[in-house]
Amino acid sequence: MSYFSRRRRLSAVALTSALAFGLAACGGDDSDGGGGGGGGGDSDDPIRIGTSLPLTGEFSQPGQAAEQGYQIWKNMVNENGGLLGRDVELVVKDDASNQNTIVADYNALIGQDKVDLLLGTFSSLLNLPASAVAEKAKMVYVEPAGGSPEMFSRGFKFLFFSQQATADRQGLVFADWVANLPEDERPKTAAYPTLDDPFAAPVVEGAREALEAAGVETVYEETYAIDTKNFDTIVSAIKNADPDLVFHGAQFEDGIGMTRAMLKAGLKPEMFFQTNAPSFGDQFSEGVGEENTEGVFFAVSHHPDAETPGNAEFVQAYEEEYGGMPPEDAADAYAAGQVLQAAVEAVGSIEDQQALADWLRENEVETILGPLSWDENGAPTGEFLIGQWQGGEAQIVLPEDAATAEIKRDWTPGGAG
């Protein structure tokens, strides 16, 4: 149980831990007497599921969100009678955003903690080595993030990605919509500042190709390094290029930094698309100022108001435990849990990992992100959602059948109409 007491984020988390602990204990009481008297049958012991997340270091933002998602999933499974009638116990390690640590962690999960199932980690950079450990041990590896196309070119048989599409396809829905705008509304020029990063860069790449094909002229295209702190010069250069659309490939911190630099410099393009950062909910609006979010586009896998099965319950549980709206990464992690759960329940056992993998390749799984299915290599075969900030809230605007709000064209920072 020490895994619960490890979390540190002040009182909110302390509360969560207590809650989680309590829930787990309750779940234990409800089922077959919490494991029976010493060394009883295997099937009474909880199912141990291992993961290592970047709880500290440069990916700590999404890493911590992912942990919340996993915990909620575990709590909800246990409340509903567990997995195959057994409680679920999470073993969460912290890899500190460090690659040799994550390899050590997954080896420890498999060799030392002897977990029954694995869940993935956050970011391609960590999922790439971690998934290889799982593949070598022939264990199913469902990853909530890690959409870099590289992931799925290695012919892995136990790897599955629990989002709708790989990174290179995330901007396409938006690009298609722009391409289909009436002539006078379509932006003439676009700028593409991009973080040098394996998930941001492919999104921009994919979208730029589609937009150029639609006749949108590229007036600025530069990649900046991961530890760039000062965006004033980049913004100044973009301002000189005077684009109608800024399509920014970002992670979180640089997304905030760039947006603020744009506001400072008075760079206010008609349209503004940014990857990742705007999907962080409150953290984004606090970072850039709520009045500046109006009209910002982003690609996203999840929305709290989406009418997917189980979504409302997830959002409610999240709000109860952590307060506020769940960030996308928490939802993705929850969905990863759902995917694993679906496979285990369909196969009816956790012994045969090969059978779990085979089942996932053949079947579609209903998740809070919508239905997910996979190709040969574990890459998902769906399309991403496009979100937009409206009235201080992140809404889904594309595709139309999943939309929670009407799409608007312009970015209007500073509350100006």
Partner 1 sequence: MTELLQTLVLGLLLGGVYALAASGLTLIFGVMRVINIAHGAFLIVGAFVTYWLWDSFGIDPLLAIVFTTPIVFAIGWLTYKVVVSPVRTAPMASTVLLTFGLALVLEGAMGEIWGNNSTAVRPSYTDESFTIGGLFLPKAQVYGGLIAVVVLTLLWVLLTKTWLGRAIRAAATNPASAELVGIKVAAVAALVFGIGIAAAGAGGAITAVLYPFVPGSHYAWIARLLAIVVLGGLGSLNGAVLGALLFGLAETMTSAYVSPAWATAVPYAIVFAVLLLRPQGILGMRLREDAVPA
Partner 2 sequence: MSVPKPIWVGRALVLAAAVLLLVFPQVSDDLYYQNMIILSLVFAIGASGLSIISGFAGYISLGQGAFIGLGGYTIGVLATRMPETSVWVWVPVAGVVAAVVALVLGFVSLRSRGPAFVIITVAFLFLVQVIAVNWVSLTNGTAGLTLPLPQWDFEIGNQPFYYVLLGLLALQLLMTWWIRRTKLGMGLIAIREDETKAATIGISLPTHKIIAFMASAIFVGMAGAVYGYYLTFIDPRGMFSILLSVQLILSMLIGGKATLWGPVLGAFLIEWLNETANNDWGGGNTRLFLFGGLLVAVVIFLPQGILPAVESGLAWLRTRGKAGLVGARIGTGGSLASLTDRVQLVDRSTIPDRAVLEVKGLHKAFGGVKAVDDASFAVPEGSITGLIGPNGSGKTTIFNLIDDTIRADAGEIWLDGKRIDGLAPWERAHRGLGRTFQITRLFREMTVLENVVAVQRRFSVAQLGKVAVSGAEAKAAEELLEFVGMRAFRDQKARALSYGQQKLVELAQILMLDPKVILLDEPAGGINPVLIDRMGEMIRELNSYGKTFLIVEHNMPFVLGLCDPVHVLARGRTMASGTPDEIQRDPAVIDAYLGEDFELDYRDEHKVGQ
Applying CB under 8 A, the residues found at the interface with partner 2 are 2, 6, 8, 55-57, 60, 93-96, 98-101, 103-105, 107-108, 110-112, 124-125, 128-129, 132, 135-138, 148, 150, 153-154, 156, 196-198, 201, 225-226
User: CA triplet 281, 250, 119: central angle to 5 degrees?
Assistant: 70
Q: Which does 381 bind (CB under 5 to 8 A by kind): partner 2, partner 1, none?
A: none
Do residues 368 and 269 touch, judged by C-beta distance below 8 A? no
Rounded CA separation 171/205 (Å): 9
Nearer to partner 2, 58 or 282 (CB): 58
| Residues 9-38 interacting with partner 1 (rule: CB under 8 A) | 9-10
Does residue 8 touch partner 1 according to CB under 8 A? Answer: yes
The answer to whether 175 contacts partner 1 (rule: CB under 8 A) is no
Residue 86: φ, ψ to 5°: -110, 150
Cα–chain center distance at 365: 17
Does residue 253 belong to the site contacting partner 1 (CB under 8 A)?
A: yes
Point out which span in 108-116, 258-266, 313-321, 392-400 binds partner 1 (CB under 8 A).
258-266
Q: How far apart are CA 329 and CA 276, in angstroms?
A: 10
Q: Find the shortest distance in angstroms from Cβ 198 to partner 2.
A: 4
Minimum CB–partner distance for residue 335 and partner 1 (Å):
23
Q: Which does 9 bind (CB under 5 to 8 A by kind): partner 2, partner 1, none?
A: partner 1
Task: Report if residue 61 touches partner 1, rule: CB under 8 A.
Answer: yes
- Residue from 99, 153, 236, 381 binding partner 1 (CB under 8 A): 236
Phi, psi of 353 (to 5 degrees): -65, -35
DSSP 123-141: SHHHHHHHHHHHHHTT--E
Return d(Cα 141, Cα 130) in angstroms, integer: 9
- What is the rounded CA–CA span in Å between residue 128 and residue 169? 19
Nearest residue to 329 via CA among 50, 75, 59, 14: 59
- Binding of residue 192 to partner 1 (CB under 8 A): no
Question: Could you tell which of partner 2, partner 1, none binds residue 363, using a CB distance below 5 to 8 A set by kind?
Answer: none
User: Contact between 256 and partner 1 (CB under 8 A)?
Assistant: yes
Q: Please select the residue that binds partner 1; options are 5, 80, 99, 233, rule is CB under 8 A.
A: 233
Nearest C-alpha neighbor of 287 from the set 255, 262, 315, 319:
255
Distance CA 55, CA 93 (A): 8
Q: Which residues bind partner 1 (CB under 8 A)?
A: 8-10, 55-58, 60-61, 64, 193, 196, 222-225, 227-230, 232-234, 236-237, 240, 252-253, 256-257, 260, 263-266, 283, 286-287, 289, 292, 414
